[in-house]
Amino acid sequence: MPGSGVAMNVATVLVGTAIGLVFGHMIADRFRTISFSAIGIAVIVIGASMSIGGLADLGETHLGDYAALLLVGSLVLGSLAGEAMRIEYWLEQFGHKLQQLASKAPFLAPGRALEPGEKGHTLVEGFVTASLLFCVGAMTVLGAIQDGLGDPSLLYLKSLLDGIAAMALATTLGAGVGLSVLPILVIQGGIALGASALQPFITPAVIAAIRAVGGALILAIGFDLSGIKRLPVGNMLPSILLAALMAAVLC
């Protein structure tokens, strides 16, 4: 049934978050820290392999050795556009609004997530980090399109992965991880609804471009999760759309 993949993705993220919130307090901080670093490393490897694979596929088109220019150009121009639109800022502001609502309903977050100071930003960080992780990449776009056309299998796989990631993230970042279901509904649901119109434009080259750039952004998320460096991934999101458009025109 069209849309069942999106519904499954939302459900697994909520269930994973709930499990992480319930059992997270039983895990000592040092174990949470090392597991979070491990998740970051895993995300780095996944993002790097996805990006390299997409770039390799782009190299097999008539772009050839110039495929890297599409990656660089879309990342630079897309990031400039995102910076101008202040996407990261508005994501964080939306997260703060959600945190204000959560403060009136303490059951939405585990104890310290609502305390003032640095720990009080847990809900915002959880929302932004999880939203970017779950909504960036080729699997989001392709899975939603297939789901809209009646084949939810790819989103079912994504749902399993996201549920496990949500469980792990929620132990450290709190209930904000569960709030990432809002952009999942909007982005994946919107793509699924427009699947019939989008399908003719999703060529192998477009898929490769989305993988290359989306993988690079997932790699950047891994840097943040592992504590290496935080990059404004939210402001880089237009790069994915720009890469897809460039691939559709040039390839």
Query: Is residue 25 over pLDDT 80?
Result: no
| Residue 192 · residue 144 · CB < 8 Å | yes
State the Cα–Cα distance between residues 241 and 97, nearest whole angstrom: 27
Domain boundaries, the chain: 4-250
CA–CA distance, 130 with 248 (Å, rounded to integer): 29
Report the 10 Å Cβ neighbour count for 23. Answer: 12
| Structure token digits, residue 40 | 């970051």
pLDDT per residue as tens digits for the range 161-220: 899 889 888 888 888 899 999 999 999 999 999 887 887 888 889 889 988 998 899 899
Question: 219-234 pLDDT, tens per residue?
Answer: 998 898 888 888 888 8
Provide the H-helix boundaries in 103-194. Answer: 122-135, 138-148, 153-173, 181-193
pTM of the model as a whole: 0.79
pLDDT tens track for 56-109: 999 888 888 888 999 999 999 999 999 999 998 888 888 778 777 766 655 454
Residue 42 has pLDDT above 60, yes or no: yes
The amino acid that residue 233 corresponds to is V
| 116: DSSP letter | S
- How many Å is the maximal CA-CA distance in the chain? 56
Q: Assign 8 a pLDDT band (cuts: 50, 70, 90).
A: very high
Phi and psi (nearest 5°) for 115? -75, 150
Cα first-last separation, the chain = 33
